[in-house]
Amino acid sequence: MKNNIFSLKVLMVAGIASLILPLNSCDNQLDVTPYSYFTSANFFSNENEAYMATLGVYEIMSSLDTYGWNIPMIFDADTDILQNSGSSTVDWRTIAHYQGISQTNTFFDVWSQLYIGIDRANVVIEKIPQMELYKNGNQNQKDQLNRMLGEAKFLRGFYYSELVRLWGDVPFKTKSSQTGDNFKAGLVDRYEIYAQIIKDMQEAAMVLPEELPVDERINKWGAKAMLARVALFAGGYSLRADGTIQRPDNYREYYVLAQQEINDIMNANPFKLNPSYSKVFKNQCQHVLEPTENIFQVAFYNPAGSQGNASWIGYFNGPLTTNGLYAGTIGRSLVPKPFHSSFNSADQRRDFSIATYTINNLGNKIPLLSGRQDESWTVAKWSREYQTNSTLERSYTHINWVIMRYSDLLLMRAEVENELNDGPNTIAYDAINQVRRRGFGMDIPGSRINVTLGSQGTGYSSAATVVINISGGGGSDAAAAAVTMASGGRIGTIAMLRSGDGYTSAPTVTISSTDGKGSGATATATLLTKPTASQINLSGLNKANFLKAIQQERAWELSGEGMRRADLIRWGILADKITETNTAVKQIRSNYFYPSFGNFVSGKHELYPFPQNERDVNSSITRQNPNY
């Protein structure tokens, strides 16, 4: 089980400490005295107080305002692989559907929280070097304080990287807020900020421990991995103040930096892929810490079951589930059907990542395969069926949000090598093919299955009452359901909802019903032949086609994990992918729900508007982002 950095005691103490920390750098309280009591001599007197202050910097990530909901689940929609459901004026819909404006409250919520985190980091960075223990303590004390200093520098860099990713040029401050400061900071060019981000993360990596963490604190290799990501964003396309979408002239320098950081990690070899793709997310749902796969993650722990340090992972972005055997969900993260169709049918990631069904109060899967039901398919990775079903996780969950996995790093490595060598080399192919082989289940014994209807039986009330049970065979996750009925209560057709993985022999299939009606139906399971390595491994591609392969592989591997929209922007293809997806869904039906195409404006929606709350009190922000 995960060893949370946030226990109940730590949450209480860190919460108090966080209230003492400066709460604003450029927010809407600019005309009042800032909270700066933490800068006086009454704190940072010992190692524990320094640790609590450092946890206060981490704590910014652990709420619905940031990584428990807004940033990964609202700000990452709508794209070619994900969109939020419905049409209304609530922020989580208007932002996703490219209708957000500067007055949209959620923009300010995220903006202000990130700046609070930066100001807290600034305090830690300033105060730890002034501590007597930092100067004259024993070696262990100095090492621990240096680690905390590195954590604060890393987190400051990370929070700034998110602000730049979302808003472009932003106010920039590396000194904690003090009474009498001028808080009305103007916009600073993103590349000046990137320079500090890179410096912060490099300095952090020098003092962070190399050992794999036993909790969610960042280590040396995690800092280097995130620095590689920052470098790719700095070297990618972004919307500028003049309305153009450009990448910097020296973009290759950023790719070289990413390559250096990735090579350092690979030489140390601290990470590895879990052989089972599905197990990665089951472990997350069960709170099993897996630092070899999950490089950087946000800790969630909420003993009160309230909105505090908690997330909506698996509640907002899981299969629609009726309250009963499992806690109910709202299933708002939808998957456009063309993305489902883009997978190779043998790719085990498809059925595990996308729910073509809902889950009823008995825990049975109800297919969504007729009429317009394909517009209701959802993200499935964090399904209630994998969760603890604890009373404390009925709505808000304790599931960590993973910001970077090892497969993400491998795909970045493939992209960097392709770019710097003007085409894929052996390193690039090995990196992407590792991810593909895992996705097709090549590194675990057994395979997927198919279920074929035998006798149709008689007397069944409806397809919704039919339950197809699959047991044995050594595998897991396979699911089938009745779709249509024939006369006389016979089962007309069945469909595979998930083909599962790891089956070493054909499992037993039995058919029953939830209302006790019907009998005589039978079905048989058969093992599906795995693709060969030569069928899975990529080879023989030029630079352009290999980049397209990476872009597609990142979609298949990382769907629903909060980075797709950002990736499409840095590649300069967000508008193209929205147009392409709109064409694909309209070929399915003319009224397929996909509002993004009608709302999205290229040269505008690649960045968010500066929050009006901020501009009302900060006259130094003299312009708005383009076209807002």
Average pLDDT over all residues of the chain: 93
From residue 89, how far is each of 7, 47, 93, 96 by CA, in Å? 37, 48, 7, 11
- With cut-offs at 50, 70 and 90, classify the pLDDT of residue 337: very high
In the prediction, which pLDDT does 5 show?
75
Choose the weakest-confidence range: 174-188, 267-281, 433-447, 503-517: 174-188
In the prediction, which pLDDT does 27 show?
34
**Helix, strand or coil, per DSSP, at residue 313:** coil
Distance, CA of 228 to CA of 165 (rounded, Å): 14
In the prediction, which pLDDT does 41 show?
52
| Mean pLDDT, range 600-626, rounded to an integer | 96
CB 68 within 8 A of CB 165: no
Global confidence as pTM? 0.94
In the prediction, which pLDDT does 23 show?
40
Residues 572-592 have pLDDT tens digits of: 999 999 999 999 999 999 999
From residue 274, how far is each of 106, 315, 343, 621 by CA, in Å? 36, 25, 21, 47
- With cut-offs at 50, 70 and 90, classify the pLDDT of residue 178: confident
Contacts of 438 (CB under 8 A, 6+ apart): 273, 274, 275, 276, 277, 407
In the prediction, which pLDDT does 34 show?
31
Asked whether the predicted pLDDT for residue 7 surpasses 60, the reply is no
Contacts of 279 (CB under 8 A, 6+ apart): none
CB 437 within 8 A of CB 537: yes
Asked whether the predicted pLDDT for residue 276 surpasses 80, the reply is yes
Strand arrangement, sheet containing 333-334:
83-84, 333-334, 378-379, 354-355
Cα 611–Cα 617–Cα 623 angle in degrees, nearest 5: 55
Asked whether the predicted pLDDT for residue 26 surpasses 90, the reply is no
| Mean pLDDT, range 119-125, rounded to an integer | 95
In the prediction, which pLDDT does 19 show?
47
In the prediction, which pLDDT does 37 show?
37
Q: How many CB atoms lie within 10 A of CB 214?
A: 11
What is the number of alpha carbons within 13 Å of residue 161 lying toward its C-beta? 25
The sign one gets for the Cα dihedral 331, 332, 335, 337 is: positive
Asked whether the predicted pLDDT for residue 362 surpasses 90, the reply is yes
CB 26 within 8 A of CB 116: no
CB 266 within 8 A of CB 379: no
Distance, CA of 190 to CA of 261 (rounded, Å): 21
Phi, psi dihedral angles at 589 (to 5 degrees): -160, 150
Percent of the chain's residues with pLDDT above 70: 92
Choose the weakest-confidence range: 105-114, 157-166, 294-303: 294-303
| Mean pLDDT, range 531-542, rounded to an integer | 97
In the prediction, which pLDDT does 309 show?
83
Distance of CA 56 to the CA centre of its chain: 22
Residues 29-41 have pLDDT tens digits of: 323 333 333 444 5
Distance, CA of 599 to CA of 96 (rounded, Å): 10
Q: CA torsion, points 614, 618, 620, 626, in degrees to nearest 10?
A: 20
Distance, CA of 587 to CA of 291 (rounded, Å): 43
In the prediction, which pLDDT does 36 show?
33
Asked whether the predicted pLDDT for residue 332 surpasses 60, the reply is yes
In the prediction, which pLDDT does 306 show?
60
Asked whether the predicted pLDDT for residue 112 surpasses 50, the reply is yes
Percent of the chain's residues with pLDDT above 90: 89
* Strand-pair partners of 480: 496
Element (H, E) at 554: helix 543-558
CB 59 within 8 A of CB 6: yes
In the prediction, which pLDDT does 303 show?
72
| Mean pLDDT, range 375-402, rounded to an integer | 95
What is the number of alpha carbons within 13 Å of residue 541 lying toward its C-beta? 21
